Structure 1
Amino acid sequence: MQTKEQYDVVVVGGGAAGFTAAYEASHRGLSVLVVEKGKTTGGSGEYIEGAFAVDSYLQKKHNVQLTKEDVLNEELNYSHYRADTQVWKEYIAASADMIKWLHDIGAEYLDVEPLGSGYRTWHLFKGLGKAVIHDVLEPKSKKQGTDVLTETSVTKVNLDKQGKVTSVNIENLADHSTKTVTTQAVVLATGGYLNNKEMIKNDTHYDDDQLIPVNSEKNTGDGLQLAWDAGAQKYAMGTAMLFGGYLKDHTKPGYVYRYSELNGAADQQSLLWVNENGDRFVNEEVVDNFALAGNALFTQGKVFTILDQSTIDHLTNDKLYKAMGTWDYHDTKLPHLQEEIDKALADDAPYITKADSIAELANKVGLADLEVTVTRYNQLSHDGQDLDFGKKSDFMIPVENGPVYAIELGIGAFCTMGGLKTDTKHNVLNRKGQPITGLYAIGNDGAGMLIGDTYGPNMPGTEAGFVFYSGKHVADIISDKIKG
């Protein structure tokens, strides 16, 4: 608890958004305290792959033809106009400059890429968000005078009688000592509530047993609760960034399978999917839009990928059936797939079942209709036409050469968005729609203004881009306000 008694800005959360705000605020000459509840900084921002922008210098190199008006209209339509038009306009207008700004202060890019069937807006970081945070934003923030507390929680945002922020109460989580720090501005950057099972159960339509968080496991809605306790409006709850199927293993943290080749095969190769009855239920090419794939999977009680040894051999030794949806899978095959399957079986992993025949597999897993489904699927595969769901013949891969496997999938999610209503200056609004003076929300805590009921991966990187944009933007706003 070695802190000063007073800071211009207190940032709650030491991730990508928090350290972007801390860097810019300290660069502008403000005194800044970052309060992080974890033992280490970085949080889920370490997993960021790339950030969105329109008309960036990297896109110009590739002659990407995409206008700001196109993006705005696409996102508003995608959200069914539940997204805030003005927030999107200002974010889009600043996006190219944000990519250049990050580069200028030290972030490195691999390139700008599309994702699945989406547009080429994904500016991929070398070393992921981890490098951006720990090699650039955090050390430079500290060099500029930012103080950082870890294993410390903000327990309350204090307001005066006029409803203006005056201070925060903080608690050391190791020895439970407490302190009050005076400040003019509190910036909430705690990453949303994906790891709060009660919030997921009560405030979303997702099955919390099926949902697999793939993040730092620290995003428990702390910032939202601080704001609600201070009189903030509860707004736009219920949307997570889903990304399709994910190996269902509640015995391990979700992130351990993030780059698993078995996970990639089961989720991203458009192989046969069946539900808890063994029935097919969707055109598996839906994986090209990972958010829509997540929605489709949530319509079923359980989901399994069914594949045979020929498919495994093909993916291991020959080539992919289709390009993977994330840039980590630019390889042309999955050389460790068989190795991963053998290890999972040896470890009695809960998500995998092996059998010598479809009949035996159906009996082991309890999939009553599986034999009928596979017989029909194989016939359609050999005929070269999917009369049931319209999947392209290239991805109609028969399941007929044993052994055969069932891989149970949950639905993966990177983050939640929403919970607070904010304006274009990231002010947190109270229940009457007025700003709580001095209280701001950025990153996932403030991203409810961007979406409807489904995240839009058609413009990949929008949430990550907003993390950096909102962090810098709020720091500039606070600096201008304090300095007059």
Structure 2
Amino acid sequence: MTLAKHDSYDIVVVGTGAAGTAASLKAAQHGASVLLLEKGRHTGGSSNYTEGLFAIDSYLQKAQNINVSATDVLKEEVDYSKYRADSRIWRRYLDDSANTVQWLKDQGVEYEGVQAMGAGEATWHIYKGMGQAVLHDALQAQKLGVELLTSTTATTLHQATDGAITGVTIQSAATNETQVINTAAVILATGGYLNNPDMMKKLTHYDTHRLIPVSSGKGTGDGLRLAWQAGAQQYGTGMAMLFGGYLKDPSEPSFKYMASQMETAAGQQPLLWLNEHGERFVDEAVVYNFSYAGNALYTQNQVFSILDQGVINKMAQDGNFMGLGVYVRRGEKMTKLQAEIDAAVAANKPFIFKADTIEALATKMHLPVDQVTHSIQTYNQYCDNGQDDDFGKNPEYLVKVSQGPFYGFELNVGAFCTMGGLKVTTNNEVLDTTGQPITGLYAAGSDAAGLTGDTYGPNMPGTCVGYAFYSGRNSGRHAAQYTHQQSIVSH
């Protein structure tokens, strides 16, 4: 018995998220025979939870007269990365981004529209039905003959003496049966390593006890390790896409709180944060750049978000200050907030504290009462004066903490994915330790480096999944062209 129908394919794609699905479909559209591997039982990975992709000059933006300069974006993003991002990769990505939006539409993807997030540009193309609908309803690569194997991993890359890819060993997760597949090209699109604690500890500086992965759980660095074992250069590791404060509830899956108004109120508002000493430590409006917010939270050993009954009532009546993507919209009236808070208090959730006085709240949070009282008195004075003398927060967000009961929420740091690990060319070819392409090996999506520095750029929301779709298309097209040339040579 064999796992795959055939023992030879033009291309083997590893991973079925946005990058892998796009790569397999694009390669098939260029006439290649493709084997698509998914190690889990279900396809799509973390891309299922994405809301929309980044693009410039799309047909949707043109219809709304949204004008964003691609060159300005390139300069902003490369500067943001402290020039650790590759300007050539950004240039290709930007120039093809509108084509990616159109290509997805041509496959059947429907869009809700274009919007910004926080203080960013209106470059976020929101698709209907989340990534789940895009990957399962629209991008049906199997209709073009792509063979899909689930619960199947790639365990080894086979190479010729010059390093060129010649095959891959695949293995069934259910039976441990293996099969060697002959192929001239492999595209790695395995989603990074956020869910591999050992790699996170080794390759990043984050305190993983405070980091909460909100993902499919399958990003364990499989593709990176395969490539490194084949001689690829380890490059661009160390960055996780943080998204600010997140509630840690050991009794619930982490993704559950994405649609929670309590999570949005506690972790995503520009209100009041105190550290483990009861001190305020930053302009909390940093939440408008959620990756910066994650960085800011990591400057302290422990952080609490403080809300009083007054601001809870205000957000219920008038709407929140800052949303959480499309899960909880910016300005949405928080009509479920009080009920969610009450339920969390009643259930003694470990992240929430409630008291009738500030002193009692500080005691429950195990913070120094005198310092908490002083911090809140000082903050309230800034609110009365309309001027934050410590950190310069916009007066619009200076809301007093004065009406009981009072609530404290312990904030951990949420993360969606990592990005980087393999240095690639503008054709998404993987480079070896000398900077030369490993013939026939490609990396797309979160496995590829070149898009970021040490911090993700959410001022252009949808950049990560947009790059996944683009780099998948890009690697699929170039891999198909390469294998076609190889077929001509062999004949």
User: Which category describes the TM-score, using the shorter chain as reference length?
Assistant: over 0.9
The whole-number CA distance in structure 1 between the counterparts of 2:454 and 2:383 is 35
In structure 2, the residue matched to 1:111 is 113
In structure 2, the residue matched to 1:22 is 24
In structure 2, the residue matched to 1:261 is 261
State whether structure 2 residue 380 is matched by structure 1 residue 378.
Answer: yes
The whole-number CA distance in structure 2 between the counterparts of 1:45 and 1:210 is 23
In structure 1, the residue matched to 2:488 is none
One-letter code aligned to 1:71: V
Q: Which runs of 4+ in 1 moved over 6 A?
A: none
In structure 2, the residue matched to 1:239 is 239
Q: Check conservation: 1:291, 1:456, Cα contact below 8 A.
A: yes
- The change in CA–CA distance for 1:325 and 1:252 in structure 2 (over 3 A counts) is closer
One-letter code aligned to 1:467: A
Cα deviation, 1:334-393, whole Å, max 9, x if unaligned, reads 111111112212222111111121111111111112121112112221222221211122
Q: TM-score, normalised by structure 2?
A: 0.95
Shift of 1:325: 4.8
Counterparts of 1:42-121 in structure 2 under 5 Å?
Answer: 42-121=44-123
Q: Check conservation: 2:11, 2:480, Cα contact below 8 A.
A: no
Q: How large is the RMSD of aligned CA atoms in angstroms? A: 1.3
In structure 1, the residue matched to 2:323 is 324
Shift of 1:321: 4.5
Which secondary structure state, in structure 1, belongs to the residue aligned with residue 396 of structure 2? helix
Q: Check conservation: 2:56, 2:97, Cα contact below 8 A.
A: yes
The whole-number CA distance in structure 1 between the counterparts of 2:385 and 2:133 is 49
Q: Check conservation: 1:37, 1:151, Cα contact below 8 A.
A: yes
Q: Check conservation: 1:269, 1:320, Cα contact below 8 A.
A: no
One-letter code aligned to 2:292: L
- How many residues align? The count is 480
Which secondary structure state, in structure 1, belongs to the residue aligned with residue 60 of structure 2? helix
Shift of 1:248: 2.2
One-letter code aligned to 2:405: P
The whole-number CA distance in structure 1 between the counterparts of 2:359 and 2:160 is 69
In structure 2, the residue matched to 1:482 is 483
One-letter code aligned to 1:355: A
My pick for the range that moved more, 61-70 or 420-429, is 61-70
In structure 1, the residue matched to 2:489 is none
The whole-number CA distance in structure 2 between the counterparts of 1:83 and 1:133 is 28
In structure 2, the residue matched to 1:144 is 144
Identity of aligned residues (%): 50
My pick for the range that moved more, 63-72 or 406-415, is 63-72
Counterparts of 1:159-238 in structure 2 under 5 Å?
Answer: 159-238=159-238
One-letter code aligned to 1:304: F
The whole-number CA distance in structure 2 between the counterparts of 1:61 and 1:303 is 44
Q: Check conservation: 1:239, 1:454, Cα contact below 8 A.
A: yes
Q: Check conservation: 2:185, 2:483, Cα contact below 8 A.
A: no
Shift of 1:252: 3.1
The whole-number CA distance in structure 2 between the counterparts of 1:17 and 1:349 is 37
Which secondary structure state, in structure 1, belongs to the residue aligned with residue 209 of structure 2? coil
Cα deviation, 1:24-52, whole Å, max 9, x if unaligned, reads 11122211111111111110011111111
In structure 2, the residue matched to 1:395 is 397
Which secondary structure state, in structure 1, belongs to the residue aligned with residue 12 of structure 2? strand
Shift of 1:195: 0.7
One-letter code aligned to 1:429: L
One-letter code aligned to 1:56: S
In structure 2, the residue matched to 1:407 is 409
The whole-number CA distance in structure 1 between the counterparts of 2:377 and 2:250 is 32
The whole-number CA distance in structure 2 between the counterparts of 1:143 and 1:61 is 32
Task: Select 1:427's aligned residue among 407, 426, 429.
Answer: 429
Shift of 1:112: 0.8
Shift of 1:67: 1.5
In structure 2, the residue matched to 1:473 is 474
State whether structure 2 residue 436 is matched by structure 1 residue 443.
Answer: no
Shift of 1:151: 1.1
Shift of 1:420: 0.8
The whole-number CA distance in structure 2 between the counterparts of 1:353 and 1:364 is 7
In structure 1, the residue matched to 2:248 is 248
Shift of 1:197: 1.0
One-letter code aligned to 1:169: T
Q: Check conservation: 2:268, 2:324, Cα contact below 8 A.
A: yes
My pick for the range that moved more, 304-313 or 116-125, is 304-313
The whole-number CA distance in structure 2 between the counterparts of 1:46 and 1:30 is 26
Q: Check conservation: 2:33, 2:146, Cα contact below 8 A.
A: yes
My pick for the range that moved more, 375-384 or 50-59, is 375-384
In structure 2, the residue matched to 1:461 is 462
State whether structure 2 residue 337 is matched by structure 1 residue 337.
Answer: yes
In structure 2, the residue matched to 1:350 is 350
Shift of 1:424: 0.6
The whole-number CA distance in structure 2 between the counterparts of 1:340 and 1:88 is 42
The whole-number CA distance in structure 2 between the counterparts of 1:91 and 1:394 is 37
Q: Check conservation: 1:321, 1:394, Cα contact below 8 A.
A: no
Shift of 1:251: 4.0
The whole-number CA distance in structure 1 between the counterparts of 2:363 and 2:278 is 11
The whole-number CA distance in structure 2 between the counterparts of 1:360 and 1:426 is 57
Which secondary structure state, in structure 2, belongs to the residue aligned with residue 436 of structure 1? strand
Which secondary structure state, in structure 1, belongs to the residue aligned with residue 237 of structure 2? strand
Q: Check conservation: 1:169, 1:178, Cα contact below 8 A.
A: yes
Q: Check conservation: 2:294, 2:413, Cα contact below 8 A.
A: yes
Shift of 1:400: 1.8
The whole-number CA distance in structure 2 between the counterparts of 1:286 and 1:414 is 18
Which secondary structure state, in structure 1, belongs to the residue aligned with residue 418 of structure 2? strand
One-letter code aligned to 2:461: P
Cα deviation, 1:38-76, whole Å, max 9, x if unaligned, reads 111110011111111111111112212222211111111
Unaligned runs of 5+ residues in structure 1 are none
My pick for the range that moved more, 63-72 or 423-432, is 63-72
Q: Check conservation: 1:288, 1:325, Cα contact below 8 A.
A: no
The whole-number CA distance in structure 1 between the counterparts of 2:157 and 2:347 is 47
The whole-number CA distance in structure 1 between the counterparts of 2:328 and 2:47 is 20
Shift of 1:201: 1.0
The whole-number CA distance in structure 1 between the counterparts of 2:358 and 2:151 is 51
Shift of 1:332: 2.9
Cα deviation, 1:136-157, whole Å, max 9, x if unaligned, reads 11xx211111111111111111
One-letter code aligned to 2:62: K
The whole-number CA distance in structure 1 between the counterparts of 2:167 and 2:407 is 57
